[in-house]
Structure 1
Amino acid sequence: MSTETDRPISRFPVPRLEDLPEDIRLRVEAVQEKSGFVPNVFLALAHRPDEFRAFFAYHDALMEKPGNLSKAEREMIVVATSSANQCQYCVVAHGAILRIRAKNPLIADQIAANYRKADITPRQKAMLDFAMKVSARSHDVEEADFALLQQHGLTEDDAWDIAAISAFFGMSNRIANVTSMRPNDEFYALGR
């Protein structure tokens, strides 16, 4: 069996923790303290410090804010769209976060395989239908899509959040795929 120590976490140079700018090093250390390990995305993106800062500022603005979408629902969007984009890193890492936030060991696998068959609410299915349309065919989004969201109690602000998460992780998925970013082994067992 191959482990992450056998293979690099990115095809690009990965800086050592002690060589990072202080603000980035402190953020990485805080994540390590909370989770018990350093998710590879932090080290891989630290290769370009200004982009690291911008990436995580936007990530946090989308994923950590209060609102009508729960944190678990935000992770559902990430897992579904990342699966469609064939991003192993994001499916595995955000699948772990989804399992923890939803307190459900099955939901991430269900959504990654086929969200339409997952044990989710009609509201969540409408949310993911919209996210997937934004991810694959944003040029086809029309008023009927917003009306359908509204029928499920999702507001204009929710539609923006769904679209922004889908779009942001479309970028993230592409970076993770191009860098050959490897999921940490620890993610696979979290929330199971």
Structure 2
Amino acid sequence: MAHIDLGIDEKQFPGIIGLARYRPETGKPLFDLADTLLHAPNSLSRGERELIAAYVSSGNECNFCRDSHSAFAAAQLDGGLPLVHDVCVDPGAADISPKLRTLLAIAAAVRVDGRAVTTDLVAAARAEGATDVEIHDTVLIAAAFSMFNRYVDGLGTVVPDDPAAYEMSAQRIVEHGYSL
């Protein structure tokens, strides 16, 4: 049970979903931001962007966001959940492109402290073909998910134990995105 009374069945609306229902005036802009970052057209695939969100959430130990975005990434990447798991454990050894590996290094730095993003990290990403927009969006995904992680965990929201709960949401997210 969340730290505050959300006035809903938290098992039916776990994590940030329940928080958005509790305060739709803040939930809608947050979901719109997630939709722009993760679902809207971009040179990074939707699966790659979801993978960045899952990776950051894993590093922040936010089980709800890690598990949900892992499922959303897996549904959109050829390597599926095994690839997502590999990236969350060790992106350096995972079967991903060098460009994505450098973007994940930037995301990891942002997760700890935005000032940890160095010119060397950015230069490495550019050397692997990352565009300024991709670097920008990686930083913003990492920053936003650090906030989302703290929001979900800071209010002690319900986290489903069953991976099937996340898989059911994945198809809806893949097809329709995040906008409420």
**Count of residue pairs brought into register by the alignment:** 164
Could you give the per-residue CA deviations for residues 135-166 of structure 1, whole angstroms, max 9, x where no partner exists?
11321323222221111111111111000000
Quote the Cα distance in structure 1 between the aligned partners of 2:63 and 2:47. Answer: 19
Q: Taking structure 1 as reference, are residues 138 and 16 closer, same or farther at Cα in structure 2, changes over 3 Å only?
A: closer
Aligned partner of 1:179 in structure 2 is 155
Q: Compute the TM-score of the two structures, normalised by the length of structure 2.
A: 0.81
Deviates more, 1:171-180 or 1:103-112: 103-112
Q: What is aligned with 2:109? A: 133
Q: Percent identity among equivalent residues?
A: 24
Q: Which residue of the partner structure matches residue 14 of structure 1?
A: 6
Q: Which residue of 2 aligns with 1:31?
A: none
TM-score normalised by the chain length of structure 1: 0.76
User: Offset at 1:105?
Assistant: 3.0
Structure 1 contact 93–183 (Cα < 8 Å) conserved: no
Output one character per residue of 1:78-126: Cα deviation in whole Å (capped at 9) or x when no partner.
1111111111111111111111111413122222222223222212111
Runs of 4+ in 1 over 4 A off after TM superposition: 37-40, 188-191
Tell me what 1:29 maps to.
Answer: none
> Who is 1:165 aligned against?
141
Alpha-carbon spacing, 1:86–1:134, altered in 2? closer, same or farther (3 Å) = same
Secondary structure (helix, strand or coil) at the match of 1:46 reads helix
**Does the CA-based 8 Å contact 2:86-2:93 persist in structure 1?**
yes
Measure the CA separation in 2 of the matches of 1:137 and 1:40: 24
The structure 2 residue matched to 1:46, chosen from 21, 24, 30, is 21
Q: Quote the residue 2:100 is aligned against.
A: 124
Contact in 1 for aligned 2:53/2:66 (Cα 8 Å): yes
Once the two structures are superposed, residues 60-81 of structure 1 have per-residue CA deviations (whole angstroms, 9 ceiling, x without a partner) of 1111121111111101111111
- Assess if the C-alpha contact under 8 Å between 1:96 and 1:187 holds in 2: no
Letter in 2 for 1:117: A
In structure 2, what is the equivalent of residue 57 of structure 1? 32
Q: Where does the alignment leave 5 or more consecutive residues of structure 1 unmatched?
A: 1-7, 18-36
Please show how residues 82-121 of structure 1 align to structure 2 within 5 Å: 82-103=57-78, 104-121=80-97
CA displacement, residues 10-34 of structure 1 (integer Å, 9 cap, x when unaligned): 33223348xxxxxxxxxxxxxxxxx
Find the structure with the greater CA-based Rg: 1
Q: Which residue of 1 aligns with 2:177?
A: none
Letter aligned with residue 158 of structure 1: E
Q: Which amino acid aligns with 2:124?
A: L
Structure-1 separation of matches of 2:8 and 2:57: 28
> What stretches of structure 2 of length at least 5 have no aligned partner?
171-180
Structure 1 residues 150-184: Cα deviation after superposition (integer angstroms, max 9, x where no partner): 11111111111000000000000001111222333
Looking at structure 1, the residues matched to 88 and 118 of structure 2 have their Cα atoms a distance apart, in angstroms, of: 26
